[in-house]
Structure 1
Amino acid sequence: MEELDFKEAIERSLKIRELYHELELQHHGSEWTIEEDALAFLTDAGLVGRQTMSQQGRWPAGKDSRKELEHKIGESMWWLIVLANRMDVDIKDVLGEFLTKTEKLLGK
């Protein structure tokens, strides 16, 4: 698979979230709130932990444990992009600021 540009990842992520909002309206009559999105992210982040345990041999592995781990890592990144956007946080800026600050703290 070709390398994904971060700007493209953000655009595609937000488009997918719009499509999910349409499904939420169809099934529930309203879009999920930011809090519901955050809870969904935390659930998927927890599943990253469980799949990591499985990958490391510390939890019984399912049939497609590796694929599920990869999927949940990608999904967690997607949720962070969505959450940042919904809360008017520029994810590119905050990631860049975090990396710069942390590099300085570590003497890089």
Structure 2
Amino acid sequence: MIRKAFVMTVHPDKHDEYKKRHNEIWPQMVKEMHKFGASNYSIFLDKDTNKLFGYVEIEDEEKWSDFAKTDINQKWWKFMAPVMETHPDNSPVSVELKEVFHME
């Protein structure tokens, strides 16, 4: 497994909506993420800074990057764009974090 961590930003007045949308995540979205090798996916919120910390385990970088191109992911990005910082293509503004320590 490859561990990936990243930071995104939710709009200050959209914390509850962001959580609601993820609590109601589409079953087909979850199924597709699994199909592209994702598991153990979590997102945490720092309310003081509006920062989201994401963590996901993937099987393969190339396979996971192909997920971004799927219709369901494009639809999800569009759905989530009103509640968070995004690029013009609706992809989340995201900063990948480099792992500096891991303990098993």
| Bigger share in helix | 1
TM-score of the pair, normalised by structure 1: 0.27
Structure possessing the higher radius of gyration over alpha carbons: 1
TM-score (norm 2): 0.28
Instruction: Indicate the structure whose relative CO is greater, using CA pairs within 8 Å and at least 6 residues apart.
Output: 2
Which structure shows the bigger proportion of residues in strand conformation?
A: 2
